[in-house]
Amino acid sequence: MKSITKKRMKAYMIDIAISTVVIAGAEYFLRKKVKNEAVHALVTPTIIMWSLEYAQLRNSGQTIGYKKLGLVLENEENSELSTSQIIKRMTYRDTISTFDYLKNPKAFESREGAILPHDRFSGTVVKEV
């Protein structure tokens, strides 16, 4: 596994830990209002994690995990990240990207781990700062 890929995995784990704390707080209040367990298991965690990630990437191109590990997400054309790029990237990463890895794990990374399938799909690249 390449250096950038390892950093990306660590950054993602940091971001998951942060969103888990936020989710736990939100669920404390939502449990009283929403009784459906599917909402608590699927909807709430996804909405909160994507919202946190979207807000951070839109503002600075970095999540807290990316900042901690010295990474930044950029557009391939060196312009500002668009809303559709961020949403495409999150959706692809959390759905189809897993199947890409299972099909061909050796071809999963390109450019030393700077581009994964969800980056290729959304036109983004991760760089070290």
pLDDT tens, position by position, 31-82: 889 888 888 889 999 999 999 999 999 999 999 999 999 999 999 988 889 9
Q: Return the percentage of the chain with pLDDT > 70, whole number.
A: 99
Contacts of 20 by beta carbon, 8 Å cutoff, 6+ apart: none
pLDDT at 86 over 80: yes
**How do the domains of the chain map onto residue ranges?**
3-128
CA–CA dist 123, 113 (Å, integer): 15
Q: Using pLDDT thresholds of 50, 70 and 90, give the confidence band for residue 114.
A: confident
Specify the pLDDT at position 1: 59
